[in-house]
Amino acid sequence: MGEWSEYFEDFPEENPSNYIDGTFNPRLAARISAQEHKQADANKAANAELNAMITKAKSDTKARSLLVTEGCPQCGLNELNTYKISDKFYLCECQDCGIYGKGTTHQIAFKSTSDAIGEFKDWREGSEY
Ligand SMILES: [Zn+2]
């Protein structure tokens, strides 16, 4: 790789990335490449911003939808939050050990949480919501 880039510095007309539509044009090629990098950076920043917005929207929704806090089937602490995200989407998440589960009713969500005991699931590392 290093050898090729040195070679292309000495013989830029041999570098295929210096051709635009078959015409040797290293300045335009460099400008397009720089624009592409700038666009990629902008896309990355936009995605990060979007992800932050989604994360915030989800945590706002959870704050609004907290139904009950009860004993966690795994760690036993009174840290299991159940959220009613929508009429048919209940979500349990333990604020301590991280176990989680979902279901169309509170009971089903609680059962799916209980069924996950021993799977070492943690909603903070990727939840159902
Ligand atoms: Zn727990």
Ligand 1: distance of its center to the CA of 88 in Å? 23
Do both 69 and 120 map to the same domain? yes
Rounded Cα distance, 95 and 124, in Å? 9
Question: Based on the domain organization, do 77 and 51 belong to the same domain?
Answer: no
19 & 50 share domain: yes
Q: Are residues 90 and 119 in the same domain?
A: yes
Distance 82 CA to ligand 1 centre (A): 12
Residue 120 shares a structural domain with residue 71: yes
Compute, in angstroms, the gap from residue 78 CA to the centroid of ligand 1.
8
Answer yes or no: do 66 and 119 share one domain: yes
pLDDT tens for 82-129 read 999 999 999 999 999 999 999 999 999 999 999 999 999 999 998 788
Q: How far is the CA of 70 from the centre of ligand 1 (A)?
A: 10
Do 36 and 78 lie in one domain? The reply is no
- Tell me how far the alpha carbon of residue 52 lies from the centroid of ligand 1, in angstroms: 26
CA 84 to ligand 1 center in whole angstroms: 19
Q: How far apart are the first and last CA of the chain?
A: 44
φ and ψ at 112, to 5 degrees? -65, -30
Task: Report pTM.
Answer: 0.70
Nearest to 129 by CA among 95, 89, 97, 94: 89
Ramachandran angles phi, psi of 25, nearest 5°:
-155, 75
Same domain, 77 and 38: no
Same domain, 20 and 75: no
In the chain, how many domains are there? 2
Domain encompassing residue 21 = 2-55
Is there a contact between 97 and 85 (Cβ–Cβ < 8 Å)? no
Same domain (yes/no): 75, 50: no
Chain segment 32-70, per-residue pLDDT in tens: 999 999 999 999 999 999 999 999 999 999 999 999 999
Q: At 109, list the tokens.
A: 């969500």
Ligand 1 centroid from CA 41, angstroms: 40
